[in-house]
Amino acid sequence: MRFLRLTVICCLVLIYSSCKKDSAVNLTPSFYFVNGDTTASTFNNNLVLFGSSDSAVVNVYLSSTYLLSKNVDVTVAADADAVTAYNASHGTNFQPMPSSAYSFPATVSATINSIYDTIPVIIFKHALNAGTNYMLPINITNAGGVDITLGPSIIYLHTISNKLSGIYTSTIIKTMYNGDASDNNISSIDTLTVTKGLIPDGSNKSELDYADLGSNGWKYILSFFTDVPGGPPIFTVGINDVITSSVQSGSFKILSSSYDPITNDIYIKSSYKNTSGNERIIEESLTLQ
């Protein structure tokens, strides 16, 4: 019996050793951008938003699949031809970002101890024309003899021309009622300050997290709407389907809203009832950072 058990163990060891030999893992390092590629979520994360200053800094992260055996210099460069290829594949109309509109180091020194290296890319708003959507593809062009991973070896930074966009500081006042607000039975009043991105969706519409519930999928839909041909655009505030389906039917209301075209300040006051019938009034004052 002991001999049989020993024979089985030896067979298993031989089978395992054979599999390990046939499926050897390739540990060759290969460079790529952590936040690179053209999948929708990654591409959207590489949208450049400006605050109130003229410049925005976007950190691009360079990494390798495995630790290096030696220190190497990695060269990166803007790739204007990639804009044409991207537009052809996705039906978009981005323009190459002019060289005066950006700055970044062309060489990164990657060491044997590096997990990733940061490339700060500075984008200058004054060099971008209003009404034009720009793209800045950055490509890994040389990795000092180390492999380069295709696909995520290029990152597509881009801007969308929309006055309803940017990085905002939002001051939120949440008044929570037991039952209707008209009964004035307040359960709590909460005040908080959060940083939000006003994300453009085309030239006249944008999405903004609702209060502190953006992680739940709650979004304002902000837009400029002209109800009279040739008339002035009117600032409007709506909500997405997630909010509509999460509150008591028909209870959501925009009580007041405003947009200052000089300062870009935004104010929104809204109310809704949760599914238990308790009303909430939310005030948000947003200032461009």
> What are the pLDDT tens digits along the chain (289 aa)?
444 444 444 444 444 444 444 455 667 999 999 988 777 777 888 999 999 999 999 999 999 999 999 999 999 999 999 999 999 999 999 999 999 999 999 999 999 998 899 999 999 999 999 999 999 999 999 999 999 998 899 999 999 999 899 999 999 999 999 999 999 999 999 999 999 999 998 888 999 999 999 999 999 999 987 777 777 889 999 999 999 999 999 999 999 999 999 999 999 999 999 999 999 999 999 999 9
Question: Would residue 92 be called left, alpha or beta, if left means φ above 0 and alpha means ψ between -120 and 50 degrees?
Answer: beta
Query: Where are the domains positioned within the chain?
Result: 30-159, 166-288
Retrieve residue 99's tokens: 């060289």
The rounded distance, in Å, linking the Cα atoms of 261 and 270 is 21
Say what the pLDDT of residue 5 is.
44
Residues 149/36, Cβ–Cβ less than 8 Å: no
The rounded distance, in Å, linking the Cα atoms of 166 and 263 is 12
Retrieve residue 16's tokens: 């395992």
What is the distance of C-alpha 229 from the center of its chain? 35
The rounded distance, in Å, linking the Cα atoms of 104 and 58 is 10
Q: Compute and round to an integer the Cα radius of gyration of the chain.
A: 26
Class of the CATH domain delimited by 166-288: mainly beta
Which residues have CB under 8 Å from 52's CB, separation 6+?
166, 264, 288, 289
Query: 129-174, pLDDT tens digit by residue?
Result: 999 999 999 999 999 999 999 889 999 999 999 989 999 999 999 9
Residues 248/272, Cβ–Cβ less than 8 Å: yes
- What's the fold here for domain 30-159? Immunoglobulin-like (2.60.40)
Q: Can you tell me whether residue 149 is helix, strand or coil?
A: coil
Say what the pLDDT of residue 37 is.
74
φ, ψ at 185 (rounded to 5°) = -100, 90
CA distance to 108, 116, 283, per residue, from 62 (Å): 9, 5, 41
Task: Look up the pTM and report it.
Answer: 0.80
Containing H/E element for 220?
Answer: strand 219-225
Strands 95-96, 102-103: pairing is unpaired
Residues 149/271, Cβ–Cβ less than 8 Å: no
φ, ψ at 230 (rounded to 5°) = 80, -5
Residues 72/192, Cβ–Cβ less than 8 Å: no
Containing H/E element for 288?
Answer: strand 279-288
